[in-house]
């Protein structure tokens, strides 16, 4: 079998340099080569065969070619709890099995999944030998980085993909020779199974998250309880046929094989073999935290090789005489059961396939949403509870399950949309159809942390209490919390700090506004002579101008709020509300002065047109009244209307939500009519048309005459 048969994807034409014999699998690489090695020459590519450095690899099995060195780009892909690779001091380790018994807790390791953690590791552990004494030999995957003189990073992945094809073909060949089928025999392998039911996978991942949080806080009893829940889930009749995960210890009367000991390798389930005897040290770990590190290094393993290496320390004769209780002994080490060679071959092939395939793209993207805060396990104070004490009453006594940001990121559908607010997780489904802002804005933010957006709209305590009562389903794992503490600056919650340029522009806008006000006062003082009783009074003229500026301000701030985020959006909404209230006050004053003012004669024109102009003015008064009133109604039903907290009737909350949504919907509809219908007509016809006819439309309403 020739190279082209073994690796069809690796033998396509390469991009050869038109000035030398070099060739590359990617155009960008060739472009860089020409710029660096042939300075001043234009890009010139010619078809080229596979370069000799890559061709040599094709004479080896692809597994051998890719097993020695691992590029960092491959490490980056393995960033999930069940497939956690970490680079340390030039070596790559699979820490998926080890993280649960890590003395610092599993979340610290998970925060570095898919990364090079050498710097932090060396600051804490002072050398790689420390971790080698804790890990099983198979945890070491290889060296970090590929030999650039032998192959490129891209070609390494080409070989990886070719090897995946080979393994699948080999699995099909082995399966064709046996009636047996391979099933996952551990939680880790089961979660890596690409065909596992998504519902079952979500339940398992959620329970694994609860277990990791318990281990982080050293609550081993709680971790053991979660382990029992997982076993109960896997023992269910509709799930049991999907796996071969051992759920209980086999008959130990004939001795305990080391393969059985290996299953009990966690702080909440710790067996260790010493001098041909097996001991359960789970209870000892709970009562002697000072010895956890030395014992957990050998959890699930045979520690006989360390016997009496350090007298008085685990494992030694003196230690056993002083600490070991008779009931801790489980039995003697027994013979390993016979293994089916075909099933062992399938197991090895599936393990290699999982390692090369890595997590799915969806799992990788979800994992990237996690907040990486190495070593941080304490949950900060929630500023929301300090500002709204009633929230503490809602969650008091509840044991909320923990979620990772990666788990929340997967809940984006309308069937189960999740959202993070102040480090808590909410299921938005009950809110769909009744949210005042509409469903689109909720679904567009599903699966994300929306604390900033939530604070922008200044939700009332009543709305927050109702949110926690109806929607709260969990909380973030402590290590992924964001500090929204009570003493945090508002700018940290609702937006980024303002740049120097924006601060300068803000000052300039303020200067322009002050200059405009000064000019207005100056022009007003210049024009104070009495006007005819047959024309608009000067007070009415001033209100007309002020309301015109206010209307454009209200429309402009609404548009600005719709196209900005964070602190800027909050400021625009505040100005929108203030300008709306100011227009309501101005409208009342305008009506008062309108009744006391003279009325100028109308411009000549068609009676139908004059009738339309009259109705346009009446529509203006109606809009100027209804817009602020609908906004006020929305605020009232959201924040101040009596709800279940006062009346005791849960139906009042639903009624308030419905009326608040109807109010804001009416507000938006009226606003669009004002912006896209009334203003174009009023300015386009009433003003521009009459002005084009030489009629003094501006003089008719100007206060400066």
Count of residues in the chain: 705
Residue 443 CA to residue 413 CA, distance in Å, equals 7
Dihedral sign from CA coordinates of 666, 669, 672, 674 = negative
Look up the pTM and report it: 0.62
Three-class DSSP category at 86: strand
Q: Quick check: 99 and 131 in contact, CB under 8 A?
A: no
Q: State what percent of residues in the chain have pLDDT above 70.
A: 83
Per-residue pLDDT band for 39 (boundaries 50, 70, 90) equals confident
| Average pLDDT estimate for 273-291 | 89
| Average pLDDT estimate for 164-191 | 84
What one-character-per-residue DSSP string does 516-550 give?
HHHHHHHHHHH--S---TTS--HHHHHHHHHHHHH
Span 560-588, pLDDT tens digits: 888 877 667 777 888 888 888 888 888 88
Lowest mean pLDDT among 60-64, 352-356, 470-474, 513-517: 60-64
- In this prediction, residue 86 carries a pLDDT of 92
Strand partners, 87: 92, 116
Span 345-366, pLDDT tens digits: 888 888 888 888 988 888 888 8
Give the Cβ contact number of residue 656 at 10 Å. 22
| Average pLDDT estimate for 106-117 | 86
Residue 385 CA to residue 369 CA, distance in Å, equals 25
Residue 411 CA to residue 430 CA, distance in Å, equals 15
Q: Tokens representing 147?
A: 């030999």
Span 630-676, pLDDT tens digits: 989 988 888 788 877 777 777 788 888 888 888 888 998 999 998 88
Q: Tokens representing 580?
A: 């709306």
Strand partners, 140: 93
Residue 513 CA to residue 319 CA, distance in Å, equals 81
Residue 432 CA to residue 57 CA, distance in Å, equals 57
Residue 433 CA to residue 521 CA, distance in Å, equals 50
Dihedral of the alpha carbons of 262, 263, 269, 271, in degrees to the nearest 10: -30
- From 454, 418, 469, 357, select the one nearest 206 (Cα to Cα): 418
| Average pLDDT estimate for 2-21 | 58
Three-class DSSP category at 83: strand
Per-residue pLDDT band for 66 (boundaries 50, 70, 90) equals low
| Average pLDDT estimate for 328-337 | 88
Q: Quick check: 370 and 290 in contact, CB under 8 A?
A: no
Q: Quick check: 615 and 685 in contact, CB under 8 A?
A: no
Tell me, rounded to whole angstroms, the distance of Cα 224 from its chain centroid.
29
Instruction: Estimate the crossing angle of helix 607-635 against helix 566-596, to 10 degrees.
Output: 130
In the predicted structure, residue 52 carries a pLDDT above the cut 50: yes
Residue 250 CA to residue 231 CA, distance in Å, equals 15
Span 261-271, pLDDT tens digits: 988 988 888 99
Q: Quick check: 285 and 267 in contact, CB under 8 A?
A: yes
Alpha helices in 89-197 (DSSP H): 106-110, 118-125, 129-132, 153-175, 187-191
- In this prediction, residue 478 carries a pLDDT of 82
Per-residue pLDDT band for 56 (boundaries 50, 70, 90) equals low
- In this prediction, residue 274 carries a pLDDT of 92
- In this prediction, residue 505 carries a pLDDT of 67
- In this prediction, residue 489 carries a pLDDT of 44
Lowest mean pLDDT among 300-314, 509-523, 682-696: 682-696
| Average pLDDT estimate for 481-487 | 63
Q: Tokens representing 597?
A: 């003012």
Residue 490 CA to residue 484 CA, distance in Å, equals 9
Span 357-413, pLDDT tens digits: 988 888 888 877 654 433 333 333 345 777 777 777 777 767 788 888 888 988 888
């Amino acid at each position: 079998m020739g190279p082209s048969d073994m690796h069809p994807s690796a033998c396509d034409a390469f991009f050869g340099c038109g000035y030398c014999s070099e060739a590359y699998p990617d155009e960008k690489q060739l472009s860089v080569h020409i710029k660096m090695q042939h300075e001043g020459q234009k890009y010139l590519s010619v078809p080229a065969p596979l370069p000799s450095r890559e061709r040599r690899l094709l004479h080896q099995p692809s597994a051998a070619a890719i097993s020695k060195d691992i590029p960092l780009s491959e490490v980056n892909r393995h960033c999930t709890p069940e497939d956690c690779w970490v680079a340390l001091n030039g070596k790559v380790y699979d820490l998926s099995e080890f993280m649960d018994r890590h003395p610092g807790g599993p979340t610290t390791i998970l925060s570095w999944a898919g990364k090079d953690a050498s710097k932090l590791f060396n600051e804490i552990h002072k050398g790689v030998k420390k971790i080698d004494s804790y890990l099983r030999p198979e945890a070491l995957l290889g060296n970090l980085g590929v030999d650039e003189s032998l192959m490129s990073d891209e070609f390494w992945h080409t070989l990886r993909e070719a090897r995946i094809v080979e393994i699948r073909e080999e699995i099909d060949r082995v399966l064709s020779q046996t009636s047996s089928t391979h099933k996952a025999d551990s939680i880790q392998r089961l979660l890596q199974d690409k065909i596992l039911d998504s519902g079952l996978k979500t339940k398992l991942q959620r329970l694994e998250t609860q277990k990791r949080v318990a281990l982080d806080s050293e609550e081993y009893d709680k971790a053991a309880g979660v382990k029992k829940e997982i076993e109960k889930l896997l023992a269910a009749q509709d799930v049991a046929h999907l796996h071969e995960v051992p759920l209980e210890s086999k008959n130990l009367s004939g001795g305990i094989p080391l393969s059985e000991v290996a299953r009990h390798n966690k702080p909440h389930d710790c067996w260790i073999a010493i001098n041909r005897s097996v001991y359960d040290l789970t209870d000892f770990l709970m009562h002697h935290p000072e010895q956890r590190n030395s014992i957990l290094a050998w959890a699930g393993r045979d520690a006989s090789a360390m016997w009496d290496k350090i007298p008085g320390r685990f494992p030694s004769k003196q230690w056993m005489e002083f600490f070991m209780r008779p009931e801790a002994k489980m039995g003697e080490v027994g013979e390993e059961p016979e293994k089916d060679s075909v099933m062992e071959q399938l197991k090895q092939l599936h393990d290699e396939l999982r390692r090369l395939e890595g997590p799915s793209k969806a799992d990788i993207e979800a994992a990237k949403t996690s907040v990486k805060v190495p070593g941080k396990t304490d949950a900060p104070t929630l500023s929301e509870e300090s500002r709204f004490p009633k929230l503490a009453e809602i969650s008091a006594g509840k044991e909320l399950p923990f979620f990772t940001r990666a788990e929340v990121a997967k809940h984006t559908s309308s069937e189960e949309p999740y959202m993070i607010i102040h480090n808590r997780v909410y299921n938005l489904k009950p809110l769909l159809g009744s949210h005042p802002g509409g469903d689109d804005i909720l679904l567009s933010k599903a699966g994300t942390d929306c604390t900033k957006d939530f604070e922008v709209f200044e939700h009332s305590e009543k709305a927050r209490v109702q949110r926690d009562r109806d929607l709260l389903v969990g909380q973030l794992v402590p290590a992924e919390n964001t500090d929204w503490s009570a003493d945090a600056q508002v700018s940290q919650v609702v937006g980024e700090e303002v740049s120097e340029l924006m601060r300068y522009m803000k000052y300039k806008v303020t200067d322009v506004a002050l200059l405009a006000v000064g000019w207005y006062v100056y022009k007003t003082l210049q024009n104070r002579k009495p006007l005819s009783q047959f024309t608009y009074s000067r007070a009415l003229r001033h209100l007309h101008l002020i309301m015109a500026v206010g209307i454009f301000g209200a429309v402009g701030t609404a548009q600005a709020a719709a196209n900005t985020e964070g602190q800027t959006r909050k400021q625009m909404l505040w100005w929108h509300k203030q300008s709306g209230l100011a227009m309501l006050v101005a409208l009342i004053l305008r009506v008062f002065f309108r009744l006391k003012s003279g009325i100028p004669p109308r411009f000549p024109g068609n009676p139908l047109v004059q009738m339309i102009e009259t109705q346009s003015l009446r529509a203006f008064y109606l809009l100027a009244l209804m817009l602020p009133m609908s906004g006020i109604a929305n605020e009232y039903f959201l924040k101040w209307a009596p709800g279940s907290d006062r009346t005791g009737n849960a139906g009042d909350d639903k009624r308030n939500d419905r009326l608040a949504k109807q109010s804001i919907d009416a507000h938006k509809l009226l606003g669009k009519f004002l912006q896209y219908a009334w203003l174009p007509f009023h300015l386009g016809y009433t003003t521009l048309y009459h002005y084009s006819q030489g009629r003094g439309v501006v003089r008719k309403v100007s206060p400066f005459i």
